[in-house]
Amino acid sequence: MFKFKFNYGTELQREKQKDYRNVVLNQIIIIVFGLTLTDLLLEGSETPGAKFATSIFFFFGALYSFLMWDMLKNFTENRLLINITLIILSGIIISGMLTEFPYYKVLHVPDRRIFFLIIHILLFSIEVVVISFAMRDIFSGEFLTPDKLWGSACIFLMIGISFGSFYDLICMIRPGSLGADLELGWRQYSECVTYSLSILGGIDPEFGNASKLIKNISVLEAVWSNLFVVLIIGKLMGLPRPPKIDYK
């Protein structure tokens, strides 16, 4: 259905390495800010600290969306898929800026839960598409190249972020599923990503009262992430390096 690029030329590998690296750096920033600025959101969404934290999340979230789209262009020549992805991500960013930006709200949404539900369903779907293409990319080819190493890190972190989006979806449909009464929006999303990263890192999360559904899905996340690491080690570490190619 989707035309995958099987061109493994040096120029494309350099472009993939750059795009993977940019996404990884952005993921690290989002994760660090998400873990360190969460307390500011506890003060209330209208406090100066909460507005500052939300603005930071907005900026790097928008940048993350663009970088995912830019990375997708390396994997497929299907212009329809690329254009639809760009339109959806642009719509998510613009609608979020108009309705949820902390310093002004141009549009008023009657039902914020439905609004966030639609946005997260679209975003989670795009993350799944990008992950599937990226996995196909790093498990293809005959040599161990730097783009595959950066791609492995990108996918691993994207698994944590995308599962966080999925937990957030569950909490929107069934409020309190994470075991706490969380404010809808960045506060809830941040806690869901924190929970997901705890599972990904093998750390016992503090949400002991999470619903059975959340706990079962977290088991799937833990198994899937560990399986991915095993496959990466088994596949990439057994590949030879390409002869005399500079990827700097």
3-state SS class at 4: strand
Whether 50 and 41 have beta carbons less than 8 Å apart is answered as yes
| Interval 78-115: pLDDT, tens | 899 999 999 999 998 888 888 877 777 777 878 888 88
194-205 average pLDDT score: 82
Map tokens 């994760």 to a residue: 31
Query: Residue 238 to residues 134, 140, 244: CA-CA distances in angstroms?
Result: 19, 13, 19
Q: How far apart are CA 109 and CA 143, in angstroms?
A: 51
- What integer pLDDT is reported at residue 9 of this predicted model? 59
In the beta sheet, which residues pair with residue 76?
4
pTM (two decimals)? 0.82
- What integer pLDDT is reported at residue 2 of this predicted model? 52
Q: How far apart are CA 248 and CA 234, in angstroms?
A: 25
Whether 197 and 205 have beta carbons less than 8 Å apart is answered as no
- What integer pLDDT is reported at residue 7 of this predicted model? 46
Question: Which range scores top for mean pLDDT: 5-14, 95-104, 126-135?
Answer: 126-135
Whether 50 and 183 have beta carbons less than 8 Å apart is answered as no
pLDDT at 5 over 60: no
Whether 154 and 27 have beta carbons less than 8 Å apart is answered as yes
